[in-house]
Chains A and B, each alone.
Chain A
Amino acid sequence: GIQVEQSPPDLILQEGANSTLRCNFSDSVNNLQWFHQNPWGQLINLFYIPSGTKQNGRLSATTVATERYSLLYISSSQTTDSGVYFCAVDPITQGGSEKLVFGKGTKLTVNP
């Protein structure tokens, strides 16, 4: 099956710093989503981005589908950005099943 690799696994920042999280996937995808899992376990939708670039406030994401990677940029980080960031994909080889395969996540800690 498809492999979804996220890097780095852990990231510690000072408040105000910028960061880039990466998601590599081993096969073509129909869907790619970025999520933030907060300390209480809730997954919050950040981006639906199978290709192209999107921005939402301090966050932006870029997916280069032909090269099978996606990047999540966090600027001017805040302590509330802490948590685990997941990339999840729906591989084309699943034939439209719409099931998401999750990476292992990047744990982000933003210190005041």
Chain B
Amino acid sequence: GAVVSQHPSRVICKSGTSVKIECRSLDFQATTMFWYRQFPKQSLMLMATSNEGSKATYEQGVEKDKFLINHASLTLSTLTVTSAHPEDSSFYICSARGLGVYEQYFGPGTRLTVT
């Protein structure tokens, strides 16, 4: 149980375009989803927290107009990187937790390369 998927696993896009990443909880209802960013050989940094049906809460320094998060249902959250630039290239990972459950379960990640 507690499986989280992400799509796509890898994406290459041109500078100035937008990219959407999907995060799905496959076998449980995710009341809260989290989006992280990880640079090579570094730890995970939380970008934002999203609860189903409400606006995401962004961490300090994360541009909410650049990283659009939508948590439309209890099994799906999306992260859209708008007007991507090479410095947005990174490994993006989502996690999810269910109601009354403290553990977070992580997706396999999406590697974004902006050329």
Residues of A within 8 A of B (CB): 30-31, 33, 35, 40-43, 45, 48, 50, 86, 88, 90, 97-105
Check if A41 sits within 8 Å of B111, measured CB to CB.
Answer: yes
Check if B46 sits within 8 Å of A99, measured CB to CB.
Answer: yes
A97 to B, closest residue via Cβ: B49
B44 CB-CB contact with A under 8 Å: yes
Q: What are the residues of chain B within 8 A of A90 when measuring CB–CB? A: 102
Q: What are the residues of chain A within 8 A of B111 when measuring CB–CB? A: 41
B43 CB-CB contact with A under 8 Å: yes
Check if A45 sits within 8 Å of B43, measured CB to CB.
Answer: no
Report the minimum CB–CB distance from A98 to chain B (whole Å): 6
Q: What are the residues of chain B within 8 A of A101 when measuring CB–CB? A: 46
Q: Report which of B32, B97, B103, B109 forms a contact with A41, defined as CB distance below 8 A.
A: B109
Check if B102 sits within 8 Å of A31, measured CB to CB.
Answer: yes
Known pairs A98-B32, A104-B43; A43 contacts B102 (CB<8 A): no
Residues of B within 8 A of A (CB): 2, 32, 34, 38, 42-46, 49, 91, 93, 95, 97, 102-106, 108-109, 111
Known pairs A33-B103, A98-B102, A99-B34; A41 contacts B43 (CB<8 A): no
Check if A33 sits within 8 Å of B104, measured CB to CB.
Answer: yes
Q: Report which of A30, A43, A105 forms a contact with B106, defined as CB distance below 8 A.
A: A43
Q: What are the residues of chain A within 8 A of B93 when measuring CB–CB? A: 41, 43
Q: What are the residues of chain A within 8 A of B91 when measuring CB–CB? A: 41
Report the minimum CB–CB distance from A103 to chain B (whole Å): 7
Check if B46 sits within 8 Å of A100, measured CB to CB.
Answer: yes
Beyond contacts A42-B109, A98-B49, A99-B34: 15 other A-B pairs, Cβ-Cβ < 8 A, are A33-B103, A40-B108, A41-B108, A41-B109, A41-B111, A42-B106, A43-B44, A43-B106, A86-B43, A90-B102, A97-B49, A98-B102, A102-B44, A103-B43, A105-B43
List, sorted by A's number, 29 A–B pairs whose CB atoms are closer than 8 Å: A30-B102, A31-B102, A31-B103, A33-B104, A40-B108, A41-B38, A41-B93, A41-B108, A41-B109, A42-B108, A42-B109, A43-B93, A43-B106, A45-B2, A45-B103, A45-B106, A50-B102, A86-B43, A98-B32, A98-B102, A98-B104, A99-B46, A100-B34, A100-B46, A100-B95, A101-B46, A102-B43, A102-B44, A102-B45
